Structure 1
Amino acid sequence: MELIETTLFLLLAVVVSGPIARMTRIALPLVQIALGAGIVLSTGHTVDLEPDIFFLLFLPPLLFLDGWRIPKEDLFRDKAIILELALGLVVFTIVGLGVLIWWMIPEMPWAMAFALAAILSPTDPIAVQAIAARTPIPKRLMHILEGESLLNDATGLTGMRLAIAAASTGVFVLTEAIGTFAWLALAGVATGVVVTWLISKAKAWVSRRWGEDVGAEILISLIIPFAAYLAAEELHASGILAAVAAGITMGFTERDGGKGQSLATTRVRRAAVWDAVQFAANGLIFVILGEQMPSILDRATDVVAGTSRPEVWWLAVYVFAIVATLAVLRFAWVWASLRLTLFRKRQKGPAPKVGLRLTAVMSLAGVRGAITLAGILTVPFVLADGTPMPARNLAIFLAAGVIIVSLVLATVALPRLLKGIELPPEPSHQREEDRGRVAAATAALRAIDDASHAMGEGTLNPDLYSEVGGRLMEFYRYRIETRTRTEDDDAEAARLADDVERALRLTGLNAERDELRRLARARQIDEETARKLIREIDLQELRYV
């Protein structure tokens, strides 16, 4: 019963964290951490999750969703700098930070030092988005950060897994580590792709023959990341990479689904469910971090008391030294990556200068968050011989401290640096959007024309079908006309007309909804009818928001 009550308190903290963050203008993760600490201090109850269970509950769905929703074209466009940050920077961070931790804390074995460095290497774009809510990060920069996080989650966690294995056995062989990493990566990716492809094909086959069950479709999408993760773990491959690959594969299967494509109702409801899952999972991780901070601090104090530096203030020295090292390593690597990749020009002439401000933004945006906490909590309690894992509690405290300090630092500095930031010009997608709308409208015209004639043949009133089809076709002809204007002034006027139409349609839809609610309150229409009509209006509104 205590576990259920504590879980409900954690969920309540996630719910109220949003309004508190908006009222206080404090970054959402920091609010959630504070609420978690408040819960444990007021109730005295903590949630002690087994590491493997914690890992399974939170990471697969979050990584799956990131892979599913990230724009694939943007991911491939900036693939060079993303790979440099996600792979090269991870290795650079593990080596540089691992050596520092091992040198700075003699009581921490080298394997644990490198494991801590590995789990501190992944970044968290969700925390960055929350911090930059008042000063939005430019779209291209955010896509680069998302792509980096998508890949460095897997590489950092895989590196931690190798280090923990070395810590447990006391043996590290480079060739075996490379072979193990290759198997973890290749088998993990292959498992995620195969599992998602098979489930998607089976689901589409059933839906074509016996219809689509919206609830079942949503549940299947929730099961896929866990299925991919568990299947990969059974093969001793990387479940993290399997979840990432499953998400990316899900995006491609949805885009190329053809006749097996899900219904519109399924997609709308599924998106809402996944939004709730993402919000709850990310929020719970930060609340749990705050909820465990008092006990983490107590255990770390006991650990440091038995070392060569028993003063408690050394904990703060360790945390700030790690944060500073992470910032320096990331700044150096980002500067080199931007200079070599992002600003590289195909045409002749001098390459643009890499601004220190842009480099600082990219460096500060490397905030540690949910993945770091989830990963460090999976460190086993004991070694292979049954003895306690050395410096485990200290490593957890240092990871938690780095998360909090990096969040506070980014909260203070990032919005200021983002104001007026200059990036290379992003390609405009307006012409692509116009071409897509024209092509879709042309296809709709042909389909409506054919269908209206086919439906009217052999009926007593064929003109009715032609009249209705003509009204619908007029809408599509207007769309084609406004999107095929070549003059800049005409195109700008067309876009202005679209904005005016959007505002007026939203006004009309709001009026419809208010009137339906008034009729329902007055019992002039029944509640079920009102709910149905309001849902239709809500779905129409989705086109304009």
Structure 2
Amino acid sequence: MEFVIPLLALIGVIVVATVLNKKFPRIPLALFQILLGAMVSWLPFIPITLEFEPEVFMVCLIAPLLFGDARATSRKELWDFRKPILYMALGLVLITVLGLGYVIHLLIPSMPLAAAFALAAVLSPTDAVAVKSITQGLPLPSSLMPILEGESLLNDAAGIVSFKVALAVVLTGVFSVQSATFNFIIVSLGGILAGLICGFLFVKLRLSLRQNGFEEVNSLVAIQFITPFVIFIIAEELAVSGILAVVAAGIIHGIERDRLQQTSTKIQMTSSTTWSVLSYLFNGFVFVLLGFLLPEVVRGLLESQEISIAVVLGFTLLISVGLFLIRYIWVYALYRNFVAIEGHEPHGEADNVSRGRYALLTATCGIHGTITLATAMSIPFLLSNGSLFPYRNTILFISAGVILLSLLFATIVLPLLLRHAAEQEVEEKDFMSMQEATQYILQRTIQLLDAESDNDHKRATFRVIRELEEQRRMMEEGKASKLSSSVLRKLQEIGREAEMKKLTQMIEQGEVSPQLMTHYPVINEPQELYTVRSNLRRIWFRYKMYWMKKKLKKLSGAQLPPKMASRTKELTAFVEEMHRVKGELRQAAIQAIKQHMTPDNHYEALFMIQYYARKQQSSLSEEEEANFMDMVGEVRLRSIQLKRDLVQNLEESEQITAATRLKLLQNMNYEEMLLLDPA
């Protein structure tokens, strides 16, 4: 439990931080995660002492993170921008490790040179995920983000390989330039080769299984999930770079992703969703862990008395400035290689930047994050001779400090640097109209549902797709795309009055029992309240309705005392009677709504008629109809969730305004309301 409780607490913090980031988007998600992680560490019931095996930390965090990033990387952009990416990922890393390593050794003479190189290697990787969280909505030069993403992927590998070489020197105490260079080359090339071979074999395995009729999606995705762990372990056992191996394997799996996209969208979607969730958790876990361990790092530094807090804070600031200057000078000197990309044409206000401004933006975007902390945490506590690793607490403190400073600096400076271009872009941006967004969402939802359908839900999916196609045709014919809440409520009232009028007639004619007049409105009334309920209360209401149905079925088949059995029989008969008359009541509601249809409420009336019509009974038996409608309900709810996801994607890509987003989500809330059938 000493490990499980902190782990659950950290996962909870990741979710809370995401909620806060949505509320205050200008503050980077990583800062929320660090701050909340630090707050959790002070809770009395959370054990603060966590010990990680360096090897476990590397294989469980770094390997899947880099594999997921490599898998999602655009190989076209990686190739198009190969020259600047290699300059940043290899050349800059080498300059940083050597140059900054000597600077750190001069600042802290008692720190072994190899340990200083190890610290410099820890600080060389950058974090494109953190950059994206800060620059969301800000117009960077079009060539910069692909370069930053490619750099982040490859300099992670280069930095970690450099770190492991330096770490080996610290652990063994043996250093030779020739030996270190040779080792670097062998480890790097060997890792790439091992990753390509193993990645190809895993891809071949999965594709072969599919070609032989094995279509179990979860098993195929599970094989992909274990891939980075297995490849990392194999590469490390071969004494080559496990990190470069998983990066190479990730790129190979990107090729498989494209091939799968042409043959099975369902597998592609499941795989993408799985890696999206894992990447979200792993990235968040590292930043939360940074905040969680900050108090322990400070306490360890104070107890070890390696260096005073005031001095190490000054060194952290100087090292951060040194990293920034090295990066700025490097980009400034190689500026033409960054902007003169064959096949890439600059466009927009954001691309009209000077040499110095481009270098300033690139240097500011050199944010350090996940890999920096993960690599620092992998430093062992002891050397091979049993003595403490030199300045381990200092290295951890400086690493954490550089991460925080780079995040804060970018958060403050980037919006200021890009403010003018952002204002210009907002003036020129062409957002989707409400009708265009609705048509796009309907079309994509139809495609996604069709791709997800399986044999068990094929009929139900076809029915829902047909409903969506009808909505789409109405949109193409120019029908309004906005649902009016007041008009919908009025039509609901008309439909309910028609149902009650028809029910009264049936009771007067002796067709049904009078009890229905009392119970039918009570059972159906929650539909009107559904729109004003919170999400949690809606879910709870649906659960209660589901539970009541299940309990009634269970009681009807159980051996009960005579009195209870009689009561259950009466209740079952009542429910069956109500189910029998519903078709006539709903038909009456449809006729009443048609009579009140006008050009002004045409769309809302059709929407309500569609709701009543799709609940009409079919030729199936009652049990078959119930099972079928359960499936249809599942698919409808899935379609609404897909629509909400698409709205979020449109908002994040800034293709719709906040007002359009609100209207779209409001319409989806009404759709969800009309799916409720509590009887």
Name the TM-score class by shorter chain: 0.7 to 0.9
Instruction: Determine helix, strand or coil for the equivalent of 1:210.
Output: coil
User: Could you tell me how far 1:101 is from its partner in structure 2?
Assistant: 0.6
Query: AA paired with 2:8?
Result: L
Within a 5 Å distance, the mapping from 1:217-366 to structure 2 comes to: 217-256=220-259, 263-303=264-304, 305-307=305-307, 311-343=308-340, 354-366=354-366
Percentage of pairs with the same residue: 33
User: Could you tell me how far 1:163 is from its partner in structure 2?
Assistant: 0.6
Decide whether the 8 Å contact of 1:343 with 1:354 is kept in 2: no
1:87-127 CA-to-partner distances (Å, cap 9, x unmatched) read 11001111111111100012211110010001100100011
Match of 2:41 in 1: 40
Within a 5 Å distance, the mapping from 1:459-470 to structure 2 comes to: none
Say if 1:323 and 1:29 are closer, same or farther in 2 by CA, change over 3 A.
Answer: same
Match of 2:103 in 1: 100
Q: Provide the aligned length of Structure 1 versus Structure 2.
A: 458
Query: AA paired with 2:418?
Result: L
Q: So what's the TM-score if we normalise by structure 1?
A: 0.77
Say if 1:251 and 1:513 are closer, same or farther in 2 by CA, change over 3 A.
Answer: farther
Segments of structure 1 that go 5 or more residues without pairing to the other structure are 347-351, 423-474, 476-499
Say if 1:18 and 1:504 are closer, same or farther in 2 by CA, change over 3 A.
Answer: farther
In structure 2, distance between residues paired with 1:179 and 1:517: 75
Say if 1:175 and 1:204 are closer, same or farther in 2 by CA, change over 3 A.
Answer: same
2:532 pairs with 1:531:
no
2:118 pairs with 1:130:
no
In structure 2, distance between residues paired with 1:503 and 1:115: 65
Say if 1:53 and 1:501 are closer, same or farther in 2 by CA, change over 3 A.
Answer: farther
Decide whether the 8 Å contact of 2:81 with 2:341 is kept in 1: no
Within a 5 Å distance, the mapping from 1:115-514 to structure 2 comes to: 115-256=118-259, 263-303=264-304, 305-307=305-307, 311-343=308-340, 354-420=354-420
Query: AA paired with 2:362?
Result: M
Say if 1:406 and 1:533 are closer, same or farther in 2 by CA, change over 3 A.
Answer: same
In structure 1, distance between residues paired with 2:612 and 2:38: 42
User: Could you tell me how far 1:379 is from its partner in structure 2?
Assistant: 1.0
Segments of structure 2 that go 5 or more residues without pairing to the other structure are 344-351, 423-468, 470-474, 484-603, 616-624, 651-679
In structure 2, distance between residues paired with 1:219 and 1:529: 29
Say if 1:166 and 1:249 are closer, same or farther in 2 by CA, change over 3 A.
Answer: same
In structure 2, distance between residues paired with 1:338 and 1:98: 25
Say if 1:236 and 1:294 are closer, same or farther in 2 by CA, change over 3 A.
Answer: same
Decide whether the 8 Å contact of 2:80 with 2:341 is kept in 1: no
User: Could you tell me how far 1:514 is from its partner in structure 2?
Assistant: 13
User: Could you tell me how far 1:205 is from its partner in structure 2?
Assistant: 1.6
Instruction: Determine helix, strand or coil for the equivalent of 1:388.
Output: coil
In structure 2, distance between residues paired with 1:197 and 1:313: 51
Decide whether the 8 Å contact of 2:193 with 2:245 is kept in 1: yes
Decide whether the 8 Å contact of 1:517 with 1:530 is kept in 2: no
1:381-424 CA-to-partner distances (Å, cap 9, x unmatched) read 111212111111111111111111111111111122123459xx
Instruction: Determine helix, strand or coil for the equivalent of 1:419.
Output: helix
Q: So what's the TM-score if we normalise by structure 2?
A: 0.63
Instruction: Determine helix, strand or coil for the equivalent of 1:108.
Output: coil
Say if 1:341 and 1:136 are closer, same or farther in 2 by CA, change over 3 A.
Answer: closer
In structure 2, distance between residues paired with 1:256 and 1:264: 10
In structure 2, distance between residues paired with 1:4 and 1:12: 12
Give the number of the structure with larger relative contact order, counting CA–CA contacts within 8 Å between residues 6 or more apart.
1
User: Could you tell me how far 1:306 is from its partner in structure 2?
Assistant: 5.0
Instruction: Determine helix, strand or coil for the equivalent of 2:188.
Output: helix
Greater shift, 144-153 or 262-271, is seen at: 262-271
Instruction: Determine helix, strand or coil for the equivalent of 1:236.
Output: coil
Instruction: Determine helix, strand or coil for the equivalent of 2:152.
Output: helix
Decide whether the 8 Å contact of 2:301 with 2:394 is kept in 1: yes
In structure 2, distance between residues paired with 1:519 and 1:51: 59
User: Could you tell me how far 1:504 is from its partner in structure 2?
Assistant: 8.5
Greater shift, 43-52 or 396-405, is seen at: 43-52
Say if 1:501 and 1:166 are closer, same or farther in 2 by CA, change over 3 A.
Answer: farther
In structure 2, distance between residues paired with 1:526 and 1:515: 15
Decide whether the 8 Å contact of 2:139 with 2:421 is kept in 1: no
Decide whether the 8 Å contact of 1:69 with 1:251 is kept in 2: yes
Within a 5 Å distance, the mapping from 1:18-57 to structure 2 comes to: 18-24=18-24, 25-43=26-44, 44-46=46-48, 47-57=50-60
User: Could you tell me how far 1:291 is from its partner in structure 2?
Assistant: 0.3
In structure 1, distance between residues paired with 2:84 and 2:477: 38
Decide whether the 8 Å contact of 1:185 with 1:238 is kept in 2: yes
Query: AA paired with 1:278?
Result: S
User: Could you tell me how far 1:2 is from its partner in structure 2?
Assistant: 2.8
Decide whether the 8 Å contact of 2:376 with 2:396 is kept in 1: yes
Corresponding residue to 1:111 among 84, 107, 114: 114
In structure 1, distance between residues paired with 2:95 and 2:326: 8
Say if 1:300 and 1:69 are closer, same or farther in 2 by CA, change over 3 A.
Answer: same
Decide whether the 8 Å contact of 1:99 with 1:113 is kept in 2: yes
In structure 2, distance between residues paired with 1:139 and 1:502: 38
